[in-house]
Amino acid sequence: MRVATTARRRDIQVAYLLLAPTLLLLLTALAYPVGWEVWTSLTDLSPLKDGPTAFVGLENYRRFLADPEFWRAATVTVVYAAVTSVAKLSLGVGFALLLARPFRGRALVFLAIFLPWAYPASVSVIGWYWTLNPPIPTAYSVFMGNVKYAVDGVLGGGAWAFLSVTLFNIWRGSSFIGVFLLAGINAVPPELFECAVLESKSAWRRFWLVTVPLLKPFLALAVFLSLTTAFADLANVWMLTAGRIVYPVVGTHAYWLAIRGGQFGPASALSLTLVPFLLAVLLILFRMFDPPEKERA
């Protein structure tokens, strides 16, 4: 028995040795911050404030739940995440199905469709900003200005800017989901699709009865990535409205409180309100696709 365990122990030691750098980095740069954030959300910590930091319990959370501004940001976030996810998914499926069949120039089309995601978001977002919200002195600003006023007139101030953010998110996200699902389609044995062609004449039925179930794990992961990025979206909103946030989402709200307002406590609490959402989505979707460690079996 003694002999049997030495080889095993050697394996375990090697494993932890190999994992050490990763765990060390993730612990300092992830676990610690998350812990810090949970604690901070229970205090009134602020770098701008003199005097000791007080423990305030759930006060920060209570204040949010009573604040209509928070509920507005939360609603906007949820709507934003839902709308963009549905759009991204449908477009992404479209991309994937179109690219799944061979045709001349497929590689080029592939690159074109992939480009929005591969391109730095902050940079391409400027292109969009320039296109949709041109500042006054440019050639076609009158035209876009009219569009903007028309939209804002119907939906309220800042609607056009927010619509821009949504369009941008869809444009960029559907690119990624398309490529991701294409990889999924390629991973499914083609016989399964061919068999389906023999079974049913209707392409629509085939799509729902064969393609969708086969791609389910990929779809689930795509939805998850799409929802999480949308929930946590700060960069896009920030950039497309040039920092002048008209329709706040939870992420930008927190940024304002923390960086501009120096109110770390409330900002942390606000960020953490995302967690239950994310966990719920994660749980639902994990049921649909196998978590990574199950593949080992």
Partner 1 sequence: MAQVMMKDLNKKYDEVHAVKDVNLHIRDKEFMVLVGPSGCGKSTTLRMVAGLEEITSGEISIGDRVVNDLPPKDRDIAMVFQNYALYPHMTVYDNMAFGLKMRKFPKVEIQKRVQDAAEILGIQELLKRKPRQLSGGQRQRVAVGRAIVRHPQVFLFDEPLSNLDAKLRVQMRVELKRLHERLETTAIYVTHDQVEAMTLGDRVVVMKDGWIQQVGEPLELYGRPANKFVAGFIGSPSMNFVDVKVADANGALWAETQGIRVKVPPIHTSRLVPYKGQQVTMGVRPEDLHPASGSDPREYCFDAVVDVVEPLGSEILLDLRVGNNTIVARVEPTNRVKVHESTRLALTPDRAHFFDLKTELAI
Partner 2 sequence: MVIERKWKTWVYFYIPLTVFVVGTLFPFYWMLITAIRPDAELYRSWRAATNTPFWTLQPTLEHFRDLMAKTTFPHWLWNTLFIAVVSTAISLFCGLLAGYALARLRFPMAGTLGTSIFVTYLVPPTLLFIPLANIIRTFQVGDTPWALILTYPTFLIPFCTWLLMGYFKTIPKELEECARIDGATRFGAMVRIIFPIAVPGILSAGIFAFTLSWNEFIYALVFLSSPEKKTVPVGVVSELIRGDIYFWGQLMAGALLGSIPVALVYSFFVEYYVTGLTGSVKG
Q: Specify the residue, 118 or 212, whose C-beta has the smaller distance to partner 2.
A: 118
* Alpha helix segments (H runs only) across the chain: 2-26, 32-40, 59-65, 68-100, 106-118, 121-132, 141-155, 159-187, 190-199, 203-206, 212-214, 216-231, 235-240, 250-255, 264-272, 274-288
- The single residue among 71, 143, 149, 208 that binds partner 2, judged by CB under 8 A, is 143
The CB-of-12 to partner 1 minimum distance in angstroms stands at 12
* Ranges within 5-64 binding partner 1 (CB under 8 A): 5-8
Q: Specify the residue, 79 or 282, whose C-beta has the smaller distance to partner 2.
A: 282
* Ranges within 192-231 binding partner 2 (CB under 8 A): 197, 224-225, 228-229, 231
Binding mask 28-47 for partner 2 (x = CB under 8 A): xxx-xxx-xx--x-------
The CB-of-14 to partner 1 minimum distance in angstroms stands at 12
Residue 1 contacts partner 1 per CB under 8 A: yes
282: tokens are 């994660």
CA 220 from chain centre, in angstroms, equals 13
Q: What is the largest CA-CA distance in the chain?
A: 84
Angle formed by the axes of helices 159-187 and 121-132, to 10°? 130
* Ranges within 202-241 binding partner 1 (CB under 8 A): none
The CB-of-160 to partner 1 minimum distance in angstroms stands at 55
Query: Taking the chain, what is the end-to-end CA distance rounded to the nearest angstrom?
Result: 27
Distinct helix (H) and strand (E) counts, the chain: 16, 0
What are residue 55's DSSP bridge partners? 43
Residue 283 contacts partner 1 per CB under 8 A: no
- The single residue among 126, 151, 220, 246 that binds partner 2, judged by CB under 8 A, is 126
In terms of C-beta density within 10 A (0-12 exposed, 13-18 middle, 19 or more buried), how is residue 159 classed?
A: middle
- Distance, in Å, from the CA atom of 182 to the CA atom of 198, rounded to the nearest integer, reads 22
Q: Which does 75 bind (CB under 5 to 8 A by kind): partner 1, partner 2, none?
A: none
Residue 92 contacts partner 2 per CB under 8 A: no
Residue 187 contacts partner 2 per CB under 8 A: yes
Residue 3 contacts partner 1 per CB under 8 A: yes
Q: Which does 247 bind (CB under 5 to 8 A by kind): partner 2, partner 1, none?
A: none
What are residue 232's DSSP bridge partners? none
Residue 294 contacts partner 1 per CB under 8 A: no
Which residues form the interface with partner 1 (CB under 8 A)? 1, 3-8
